[in-house]
Structure formats: C-alpha cells, structure tokens
Amino acid sequence: MSLEIEPVAQRSLSSQIAHQIRQAIMDGSLKADDRLPTEEELAQRYQVSRPTIREALKRLAAQNLIRSRRGPTGGTFINRPSASDLSDALTSTTTLLVGMDAFSMEDINQTRLLLGTDCLQLAAKNISSKQLDQLEQELTQQQDDNLSPEQFCASDVRFHRLIAEASGNPLLSFIMRSVIEALQPVSNMVTFRFRERSVIIDQHQRLLTALQQHNPELACSIFAEQVHYLAEKTDQAQQWKAEKPA
C-alpha cells in the first residue's frame, strides 16, 4: 500500500485529509481492500488529533469509499463500491440539480432521446427472452386501471431501466440510470394531468413488439414518438401552471 502524506492547512483539516485519501484512491495509490493505518498512526502522520482523523474517515465512509471491520483482523479498509451504489449517488446528484432548475425540460427530453436511442439500438440486438418477459410483466401492470400516478410512473421507470440493461453495455446502462430514475419521473409527474395513460401504454406495447422482432429502427422511431409526445404535454403543463391563479 502506498499512501502519500501531504502537509495540510489549519482550516477544514478533516475535509482536507479526506480529500487526500480520496485522491489516493482515485489515482490508484490506494486500491480496493487495502488497509489504512490506524487512527493513531494517521493522526501522527498528519500531525492532527484523533477526532480530526475520525471525522475525515466519517466523510469517506459517507461516500462509501471505506469500510470498518472489528476483531483481530479488523481495521479500516478501502471499499469497492458497486456500480449500483455509484449509480444511486449519480441519480441523487442529478435529482438535486433538476430540483434546482439546473436543467430545462428541453435538456431532459433531448438527453432522454439521445441516450435512449443508443440503448434501444443495442437492446434490439441483445435483449434476452427473460428481459422480454420482464418488460411484458411491467406492461401488464401498467394496464391496471387502479394504479396511482406514482405507481404508474414507477413502472414506467422500471420498463425503461430494463431496456437500458438489455443494451448489454454496462457503462451505458450506468449512465442511463441517472437519466431514467432522476429525469424521467420529473417529466412524468409534470405531465400526468395532461398525458393519456393509454397512449403511453400503446407506445410501450409497440416498443415491446419491436424489441421482440429485434427491429432497432422501429424501436427508436416509437421511442422518439414517445419523447416528443411527452414534450408536447410538458409544454401544456407549463402553460397551465403559468395561467393558474395564484
């Protein structure tokens, strides 16, 4: 294990120490499952108090970069975050930015169209019979008239997440997850007063058929139709909101 110790300023010591260790993880100096020195050893190396080291380690643990284990073979170890953990963090960040209006609905729809099209082109070639069955199950659930708008939105998210996973490209699926799970619900909940659920279900049915036929051109065409439909309904929703009496 190689851990470079750099001098730290007297301001935000725990934050700076956490940053240095994080950088060591990112540049490969510290690798997954490497054991960190003890709190006492780190305190001596950095010339700070143990509570400061403890706070720095808490920061790293909150980012899921380290884990602790008790016992004779215990200690603090560099973690290996799963793709799911990192994707959840990316989704949370994206959701926060959307809530702060960092992205317009036009940005959201354009991103969904571009990345969704890439996923469909690959999914049409790589999708398995099991994944097709899962899509069909979601479609059946969406046809339940008793589903609340939130439940329908959740099924919609799962439907498109399955398509991303069916692409067979883990990196594309990883990136697409933040788009699907953070941006799509925003679009759905903005437009649920105006969109017709039957239209979305019909589009999903035709998407499923295109994937069953392994027809990427047809699948991408139907997806583009859905994105444009939701964009129109978003405009209607925003206009209604602007005209609504305060």
Residue type for 96, please?
L
Q: Tell me: pLDDT of 105 over 80.
A: no
Percent of the chain with pLDDT over 90: 48
Q: What is the pLDDT of residue 218?
A: 98
Cα(10)–Cα(68) distance, integer angstroms: 27
Q: Is the pTM of this model over 0.85?
A: no
Tens of pLDDT, residue by residue over 227-246, are 999 888 888 877 887 777 76
Tens of pLDDT, residue by residue over 36-92, are 999 999 999 999 999 999 999 999 988 888 888 887 788 899 987 666 666 667 767
Q: Tell me: pLDDT of 224 over 70.
A: yes
Q: What is the pLDDT of residue 6?
A: 60
Percent of the chain with pLDDT over 70: 86
Q: Tell me: pLDDT of 30 over 80.
A: yes
Q: What stretch of H or E contains 240?
A: helix 216-243
The three-class DSSP label of residue 61 is helix
Question: What DSSP state is assigned to residue 245?
Answer: -
Tens of pLDDT, residue by residue over 175-214, are 888 777 766 666 666 677 778 899 999 999 999 999 999 9
Cα(246)–Cα(242) distance, integer angstroms: 9
Residues 197-219 as b/e (b if ≥16 CB within 10 A, e otherwise) read: eeebeebbbbbbebbeeeebebb
Q: How many other C-beta atoms can be found within 10 angstroms of the C-beta atom of residue 104?
A: 10
Tracing tokens 């808490």 back to the chain, one arrives at: 58
Q: What stretch of H or E contains 113?
A: helix 105-126
The residue that leads in pLDDT, 190 or 124, is 124
Cα(3)–Cα(19) distance, integer angstroms: 13
Tracing tokens 């400061």 back to the chain, one arrives at: 52
Residue type for 70, please?
R
The mean pLDDT value for 156-173 works out to 93
